[in-house]
Structures are given as C-alpha cells and as structure tokens.
Structure 1
Amino acid sequence: MRPTLSFHLQTIPNVPAIRQLYQLDGEIGEADVADFVLQRCRAQSGTDFIPFHLHRVVAIAGVLQQDGQTRLVQGLAADAGDEAAMLADWLSLLRDSRARLVSWNGARLELPVLRHRALALGLPLAEQLRAGADSSSQVSLSEILSGGHAELATPQGELARLCGLPGEAELNGPRRWELYRAGDVGALAEHNARQAASCHLLWLRQQWVEGALDSGAHQACRQGLRAVVVAQPEPHWRGWLADWPADAPQGD
C-alpha cells in the first residue's frame, strides 16, 4: 500500500495581508480588519469564504500510514511568525514520505491554500502539490464521492457518523476566528487533529469498499490508528474514541 497522509488544516483571516492589500490603517484592530474582509466576501459571494490568498494557516494535522506503521502528525502556528516554520516542516514530511495526500475537501480549500501560502512565504513545494502532479498524488474524498458535484457534497462529519465512525461538524470561518481571538487556538488544533483522523478512517473505508483493501488489511489499518489515538495523552481524544467503540463492526 502506497504511503498515505490524510490531512486537514485550519485557517484564519490573514490580517497583515488584508491590511497591506486594502491599505487599512494600522490603528484599526484585528477584529475590525477580519470583519471588513468577511463583510466584503458576503457582499460579493454571499458566503463567509475568503479568497485563498487571504488565509493564514494556524493548524495542520495528518495521519501518516507508511510501511505498516501509523503516525499522528500535528503542527500549530499560534503566531503569524510560526506559520512558515510549521509549513516548511510539513512540506519536508511530504517530500520525505512521498505519500499520497488525502483530504475530505482539499481540492476546494486545503490544496489551493497550501500553494498560495508556499508561494507567499517562499517555501519549495513538495511534488504532490506541484502543477501537473500525478492525479494519484492527491485525493479529495468529497469530490470522488459526489462525482465532482461540489454543490452536492456531503459534510465529512455527517457521512462519518452514518458509517459508524467519529464525526463532528466543521468549524466555519467566523467560528475559527472567534476561537483564535479568544486565545483558544489549542481548540482549533484539537478539532483539526480529530478531523484528520476521521478523514483517514473514511479513506480506509472507501478503499475497502472499492476493493483496494481486503477486510483484514482494512481492520489492521483501523486498529493501527486506534492504537495511536489511545496513546495520546490529551483528553479531547476521549470523546472521539467514545464515538468509535472498539467492538464496532467495520461493515463486512
């Protein structure tokens, strides 16, 4: 089985970039700068989704499945100055592992944001993120399952729960910003790690139902992730595990 990295990231409005591009006075507070760009997006598109170049990555997490081993990889950039180092480490992991990148909705958010941030910060891209990369290098599960109909895409948390797996609602942009402003960036990182783990379980299940994994390999990979999560000391994983009982059937 090719190395696989199922990942998820969390972003907030990139306040310094917004100030620069829209020539906002330095005396205007961060909250007002973020509100300015959110209001602008709502007026233009009717949504809270800000353009890719105005995101800043504050947390990134993934489950790396490689050589029969499972690892949980997490990064946190509480301050703007930490983002470049965090992303550089992440890109280095991609180059070293040569893993297939798996996300829930990466084609619409994670991958474009990573490319924009790498360009702005001057970080060499890993092969999986380069233009013209082999399609097998990147997988967006939501896109596959919806047949490319993004407007009909299912929320990851809802589908996970239907499959008997841990799943929670995604945090929207205003909620992420609210947590960050409250100094609760740790909650963003925790939610992000759980989302990456749930995405990995959905990927394993999708590989099993398509026949790429047999039942034994599917179960072994699931148990590998369970063992990693059980070993995590942070209490926020307890609720995630409670939604995935050890004796839960895999569906076969």
Structure 2
Amino acid sequence: MLPTLSFQIQTIPDVQAIRQLYQLDGEIGEADVADFVLQRCRAQSGSDFMPFHLHRVVAIAGVLQQDGRLSVIQRLAADPKDEAAMLADWLTLLRDSRARLVSWDGARLELPVLRHRALALGLPLAEQLRNGADAASHCALSDALSGGHAELATPLGELARLCGLPGEADLNGPRRWELYRAGDSQALSDHNARQAASCHLLWLRQQWIDGALDQAAHLNWQQSLRAAAAALPHAHWRGWLADWRGYDAAQNR
C-alpha cells in the first residue's frame, strides 16, 4: 500500500492574535480574551467554532503506515513559542513520507487551519496541504461516508464504537480551552493521539469493505497498530486498548 498518515489536531483560541485583531487591552486576562471570541462566535453563528485564523495548534498526532510498518506519532506545543517548530517538523514529515493524508473531518478543520497557521508563521506547505491538491493527497473519511452531507455526519467516536473499535467523544472548543488553562495540555495531546489511532482503524475498515484490503491484510494492519500502541510507555493507551471490544472477535473469524 502507498504511505498513509491518519492525523488529527487540537486547537485553542490564539489569544495573542485575538488581542491584536480586536485591540484588546493587555491587562485583560487570557480567559476573558478567549471568552470574548467564543461569545462572538456564538452570537454570529450559533456555535463555538472559531474562524480558522483564530486557532492555535497545540497538539498534532498521526498514525503513519509506510514500507510495511506502522508508527504512532504524537506532538505537543503547550507554549505558544513551540507551535512553529512543531508544525515545521510535521510539514517535514509530510514532505519526506509523501504519505496520503487521512482525517475524519479534515476538509472542514485540519487542512484549512494548517494552511492558515503556515501562512501566519511563514512555513512552506507540504504538497498534500496545498490548495488544489487532489483526492489522492487527502481523504476525509466523514465526507466520504456521508456523501458530503455534513449535517448528517457521524461523530468519529460513535462510529468507531459501533464498529467494535475504541472511540471517545470529541472535545469541543470550550473543553479544550478549559484543559489548556488548567495546565493539562498533555491530556489534549493524549486524546488527540487516540483519536488519530481510531481514525486510522476506521480507514483500514473502510479499505477492507471497499475491497482495497482483503480480510487477512486488514487484520494484520489492525494487529500492527495494536502492537504499536501496546509498546508505547504512556498509560493512557491501556484504556484505549481495553475499549477495543471487536478485536478478539475479528481475530477468530
């Protein structure tokens, strides 16, 4: 199979950008700045989703399937000064691997946010993220499964659980900001990595039902991801593996 990278990002309000664009006094605390922009979003659109240019990426993670091997990659930039270096490393990974990107809802979040951040930070884009990149560069599973009906799209965690795979609820904007403000950025990063792994499992399953993978190859790649997660030293993967209810049944088919 061609190299594939299933990935997710986690973002919070870019407090510095919000201060600059809306000329907010420096004495206004970060929490109040974020609350200002979230309330503004609710008033304008009825949701907490911020315009792309007001996001700051704090975590990015992926599952890279390449040359018959599989690895879990997890990055965190809790400090604003670390974001540019984290994204530069990630863009280098994309260029070096030449992997096709897989996301759950990347056409509406990951890709436009990364393009905006690259522009703001002066980072050369990898080919997979450039405007005009074709379907061979990126697959948004949610779009592929829903036929573009975003209003009917299924949450990643819910569909994963229906398939007997580990999956958990998404963190909305206020919850991500709450964790960050509480000094728990690592929890954001860990959740993000688990979501990327669940996304990859759903992509493998979709490849199987579409006929791109036979059952044996599908199970082998599942086993590779399970082994990669089990080998990681971080305790949060134990719970993710324990939630993989369909694994034993699939192995015994």
Q: Under a length normalisation based on structure 2, what TM-score does the superposition of the two structures give?
A: 0.98
Corresponding residue SS for 2:136: helix
- Size of the aligned set, in residue pairs, is 252
Partner of 2:69: 69
1:136-163 deviations in whole A, cap 9, x for unaligned? Answer: 1001000000000011100000000000
Where 2:248 maps in the other structure, the secondary structure is coil
Partner of 2:201: 201
Q: Could you tell me which residue of structure 1 aligns to residue 248 of structure 2?
A: 247
Identity %: 80
The answer to whether the 8 A contact 1:164-1:248 is kept is no
- 1:43-62 matches, within 5 Å, as 43-62=43-62
- Equivalent in the alignment of 1:183: 183
60 and 36 in structure 1: CA distance in 2 versus 1, 3 angstrom threshold: same
1:167 touches 1:195 (CA, 8 Å); kept in 2? Answer: yes
1:251 is displaced (CA, Å) by: 9.8
The whole-number CA distance in structure 1 between the counterparts of 2:134 and 2:39 is: 38
Match of 1:7 in 2: 7
Deviation at 1:59, TM superposition (A): 0.3
Q: Is the 8 A contact 2:219 2:250 kept in 1?
A: no
**Mapping 1:78-89, distance limit 5 Å:** 78-89=78-89
Shift in Å, 1:248: 3.2
3-state SS of paired residue (1:124): coil
Contact kept? 2:156, 2:167, Cα under 8 Å: yes
Residue aligning to 1:223: 223
Q: After TM superposition, where is structure 1 displaced by more than 6 Å over at least 4 residues in a row?
A: none
| 1:30 to 2:47 alignment | no
| Cα distance in structure 1, aligned partners of 2:183 and 2:199 | 27
Query: Cα deviations across residues 14-37 of structure 1 (Å, max 9, x unaligned)?
Result: 000000000000000000000000
8 Å contact 1:12–1:55 — kept in the other structure? yes
Query: What does the per-residue CA deviation read over 1:165-197, in whole Å, with 9 as the maximum and x for residues that have no partner?
Result: 000000000000000000000100010000000
Q: Tell me which residue corresponds to 2:119.
A: 119
Shift of residue 134 of structure 1? Answer: 2.1
Opposite residue 55 of structure 2, the aligned amino acid is H
Structure 2: gaps of 5 or more residues = none
Whole-Å separation in 2 of the counterparts to 1:147 and 1:251: 33
How far apart are 1:131 and its partner, in Å?
1.3
Alpha carbons 1:10, 1:192 under 8 Å: kept: yes
CA distance in 1: counterparts of 2:22 and 2:124, whole angstroms: 28
Structure 1: any 5+ residue segments left out of the alignment?
A: none
Secondary structure of 2:249 counterpart: coil
Contact 2:179 2:187 survives alignment (8 Å): yes
CA distance in 1, matches of 2:251, 2:138: 25
What CA distance in whole angstroms lies between the structure 1 residues aligned with 2:242 and 2:120? Answer: 41
Coordinate RMSD, CA, aligned: 1.1
Q: Which residue identity lines up with residue 119 of structure 1 in the other structure?
A: L
